[in-house]
Structure 1
Amino acid sequence: MERKDFLRLGGLAAAGTMLGFNGQAAAIDELKAKQKAKNVIILVSDGMSIGTLNMADLFLQRKEGRGSYWLDLYRDRNRKITRALMDTASASSLVTDSAAASSSWGGGVRVKNGSLNVGANGEFYKPIWQKMKAAGKAVGCVTTVPITHATPAGFCVNNKSRKGQPEIAEKYLELRFDVMMGGGLEHFTPEGREDKKDMFSAFTAKDFAVVRDRSQMLNLNTSKPILGVFHEDGLPYSIDRNSSAELQAKIPTLAEMTQTAIKHLKGNPKGFALQVEGGKVDWAAHGNDIGALLYDQIAFDEAVKVALDFAEKDKETLVIITTDHGNANPGLIYGEKANQMFDSIQKYKQSNDWILSGVNKFMTAAQVIERVEAGSGFAITTEQANDLLGQYQHLDEDGLYNPRKMPFKKLAEIQGKYNSVGWISMDHSADFVELAMYGVGSELLPSFIKNTDLHYLMLNATHVEA
């Protein structure tokens, strides 16, 4: 396929509703991959700024003497891959949220932030996993945040608002996707839902295999569609899971969920389509939490290895590795002791969420110092401890990622004096982002694309009609 032809298609995709889908479909018919990809696996490290990818690789080099599996793809000249930068804007802003970003891939049209494949005038754009399922493929999503959250939902459903997660859970039941696994218990239990519906019973009644912990998932042996929900809200941060035998026994890793999903989906004679999301990377970036960020990026990288290993043996699979947008733009900052300071993160045992959730306004400075040292491996000063304590006088319950308004920014600023990591914000950014492809259909990727182009590229690679 000529690059100029794919970019022409990208222009059509960006135009969205203005041109309509007949013109787009006609262009797609001309641009199918020479060899059809039977399977597609798209891995999304949600909210991954380039600094996150970079620091995770440096962290692994210095801690374990190896690079990340993602960047090793670029270093290995024997592995044929393609790379691109991707423009992540939404219909309403240069800075996208995860709902609009996923919808650009899911529906092939840019929509406003907060929407899931629903246009400005209420028009619905059919999500790509519904198209793949209609073509006979098995489909699924696995994530470290609620399975009803924006990124998996954008591949699967139409909904006016990403906030309607209880409703999204019901739509998953109607659509009967083959594997859906992550967090979000509150959207499936009578105790968590306002309507008191027992969605687990509803899924079981519709002949789903429902699993609630790691051992149940690993011991699955079924041809039924699978629903796995393992925790309230998002799954625990990987750094916290690594420090808890109880969490390790109960909560699967993203790599384990990915392996289970592939094992379940690969028997379908017409192939499969799987989305894998490292959603807690985004949450850690929102919290400026370097320990949580790096360990969840590394956990995502382990899932990348699972997908690549499968594709290397299978020879019929397209693997896509990317992010939906940047977040907080962290980076290792220059200084005489930058190396040693960065290496101090190797001593971190807990997330900042764990540290700050265990602090209250009645504690002493000494107790706060002890708590921070237990989580981060270094002792802050009494002045810094009192500064943190002062933030606990007026906590509230509003906000999407930090409802109690705990002092994540303050703690990150204190940690930065010891680890040499800086942040530009606590929110999404408009950066062009890294995208890599390996396997069948990867030759379709030009060096720069819009996020909507990825929808059509996946269709082209698998020869599935729009």
Structure 2
Amino acid sequence: MIRRDFIKNGTLSALGISLLSTTDTFGHLFNPSERNANGAAKNIIFLVSDGMSSGTLTMANLLSNRMYGRESKWTSLYHERKVVRAFMDTASANCMVTDSAASSSAWGGGIRVNNGSLNVNADGSHNTPILQKFKNAGKKVGCVTTVPITHATPAGFCICNKSRSNQQEIALQYLPLKFDVMMGGGDKYFNPSKRSDKADVYSQFEKASYKIVKTKAQLLATDGQKPLLGIFGDDALPFSIDQRNDKQHQELVPTLAEMTVKAIELMKDHPNGFVLQVEGGKVDWAAHSNDSSGLLFDQLAFDEAVEKAIEFAEMDKNTLVIITTDHGNGNPGLFGEENSDQKFDLFQKFKHSNEWVLNNIKPNASITTLVEMIHDAQGYTISNEQAKELLSHYQKLDGTGLYNARKLPFELLGKIQGDYTCVKWGSMEHSADYVELAAYGPGSNLMKPFVINTELHDLMLNATGVKV
């Protein structure tokens, strides 16, 4: 494994970054009373806003300030100097631009693997995932996410598989691990009527003494007597902007913050502590679709989970909270010096994501109908020419983007939307950007100003004193 020690080799100085001032700032971002020795953390909450470029964090904070009159929790942690802050290199073993499987595996297994792999090295050998290590050490462990629980980021903390695409297989790999809390979407990987092999994975979990819940009410009523499997959607959960404007979604689907609170509640009294991974997975899906409203409101929903985790850690005093992303995606930003404030404020009128809009357009819709529909869903009026161009793509279905099975014109709508909101996109793919990383609580002092993603694996083990 090649490890890039940027501080040792002076690369930060070569990039024109003031290393001394950066180190000095980072060194004073946490409370001196939190300079605990190794092994001081009983619990860990590891929060991942998947695919969060720095512009996403910035714009979510701007939207929170302008819409709610308060900073995002993540930004406030910087402002109030409550956390240790760092940059992180996210590269995989075979590419400077990582995917989520390799990135989560770097944290989970402590070794960089090739893109697409889950803790499996190029030679076929396996790296034991960190939640297995913590479970074997006697802690309770779990994952919650807004995408399928079998998806790359939770899987990288849990299992080994040569391909992240093997989600039916991954669902079965979770079974013998007896993890304590697993929540997200992905019914199609557990339901016998939807699996290609017709296996009833739900029944297998029930036979292994799991409590199965499929609605928010069932989740909130869970008492923690059994390990929990919560599946709240066929694939991913709805975007937050769509959920907040759909009563059925609100009644049936828990938010990421609600899942986080419940997971903590179910594990917090365990005498040996717990380790929980929390993923805002649809931030990444929105970025792949250049879906600005999906992105920003899901980032704010992730921020609510951050707030709940910090509230618990402040009360508990024994919990290390790590907040980060696995890679950038799309590099969105707010651009333009004229009327950009007013245009950005349009997001306060949004009722739905681009995903909702595009999936509700009828191929034979009139231009007038489409213009009215977008105005009602997102608060701006596109031109007849723009409506005509959008409709033309429903005849050829040639749209791009990773999570776009219907080949809808996500990229085009993202560009059109940018004319009215001033939010523009660099691409529809992951980036090699170094990303934000923050840590709060016992063990946070172990974090350096510049981190290679694999280093978080050992940091978590060291912070809890777990020997493997």
TM-score by structure 2 length? 0.91
Alpha-carbon distance between aligned partners in 2 of 1:413 and 1:397, rounded to the nearest angstrom: 13
- Aligned twin of 1:75: 79
CA contact (8 A) 1:7 1:449 kept: no
Equivalent pair of 1:46/1:325 in contact (CA under 8 Å): yes
Q: Pick closer, same or farther for the CA change 1:273–1:65 going to 2, 3 Å.
A: same
| Cα distance change on mapping 1:444 and 1:91 into 2, 3 Å | same
**Which position in structure 2 is the counterpart of 1:45?**
49
Contact persistence 1:6–1:444 (CA under 8 A): no
Number of the residue aligned with 1:433: 435
Q: Which residue in the other structure is 2:190 paired with?
A: 188
Q: Following the alignment from structure 2 to structure 1, what is the Cα–Cα distance between the partners of residues 190 and 273?
A: 29
Q: State the AA in 2 paired with 1:249.
A: E
Does 2:362 correspond to 1:357?
Answer: no
Distance 1:210 1:396 in 2: 39
> Do structure 1's residue 106 and structure 2's residue 97 form an aligned pair?
no
Corresponding residue for residue 326 of structure 1: 328
Distance 1:102 1:7 in 2: 23
State the superposition RMSD in angstroms: 1.6
Amino acid at match of 1:60: S
Alignment partners' CA distance in 2, 1:410 and 1:6: 39
Q: Distance in 1 between matches of 2:215 and 2:419?
A: 39
Q: How far apart are residue 400 of structure 1 and its match?
A: 4.2
Q: Distance in 1 between matches of 2:84 and 2:407?
A: 42
Q: Specify which of 403, 406, 409 is matched with residue 407 of structure 1.
A: 409
Displacement after TM superposition at 1:92 (Å): 1.1
- Cross-structure match for 1:63: 67
User: Could you tell me which residue of structure 2 aligns to residue 127 of structure 1?
Assistant: 129
1:83-162 correspondence to structure 2 within 5 Å: 83-162=85-164
The Cα offsets for residues 88-126 of structure 1, whole Å up to 9 and x where unpaired, read as 000111000000000000000000000000000100000
* Corresponding residue number in structure 2 for 1:372: 374
- By how many angstroms is 1:201 displaced? 1.1
Partner SS, residue 446 of structure 1: coil
| AA partner of residue 54 (structure 1) | T
Percent identity among equivalent residues? Answer: 57
Please say if residues 396 and 403 of structure 1, whose CA atoms lie closer than 8 Å, have aligned partners that are also in contact: no
- Counterpart of 2:264 in structure 1 is 262
Q: In the TM superposition, what is the alpha-carbon distance from 1:360 to its structure 2 partner?
A: 2.8
Give the aligned residue type for 1:392.
Y
Offset, 1:395 = 1.9
Provide the C-alpha distance between the structure 2 equivalents of 1:76 and 1:43, rounded to a whole number of angstroms.
19
Match of 1:164 among 134, 157, 166: 166
| Alignment partner, residue 298 of structure 1 | 300
Q: SS state of the match for residue 397, structure 2?
A: coil
Q: In 1, distance between residues paired with 2:116 and 2:420?
A: 37
CA distance in 2, matches of 1:398, 1:432: 26
Deviation at 1:6, TM superposition (A): 12
Alpha-carbon distance between aligned partners in 1 of 2:47 and 2:340, rounded to the nearest angstrom: 31
- Can you give the 5+ residue segments of structure 2 that lack an aligned partner in the other structure? 9-35
Q: Is the 8 A contact 2:39 2:466 kept in 1?
A: no
What secondary structure is seen at the aligned counterpart in 2 of 1:339?
helix
- For residues 332-364 of structure 1, give each alpha carbon's deviation from its aligned partner in whole angstroms, at most 9, with x where no partner exists: 002310100111111110010100001132111
Structure 2 vs 1, CA of residues 204 and 398 (structure 1 numbering), >3 Å: closer, same or farther? farther
Match of 1:220 among 222, 232, 237: 222
Q: One-letter code of the match for 2:380?
A: F
Q: Which amino acid aligns with 1:123?
A: S
Counterpart contact for 1:358–1:371, Cα < 8 Å:
no
Give yes or no for the alignment of 1:242 onto 2:235.
no
Cα distance in 2 for residues equivalent to 1:108 and 1:417:
43
Which residue of structure 2 lines up, in the alignment, with residue 36 of structure 1?
A: 40
Structure 1 residue 44 displacement after superposition: 0.1
The residue correspondences of 1:389-404 to structure 2 (distance < 5 A) are 389-395=391-397, 400-404=402-406
Structure 1: tracts of 5 or more residues without a match: 9-31
Aligned counterparts, 1:331-350, within 5 A:
331-350=333-352
Q: Is the 8 A contact 2:334 2:340 kept in 1?
A: yes
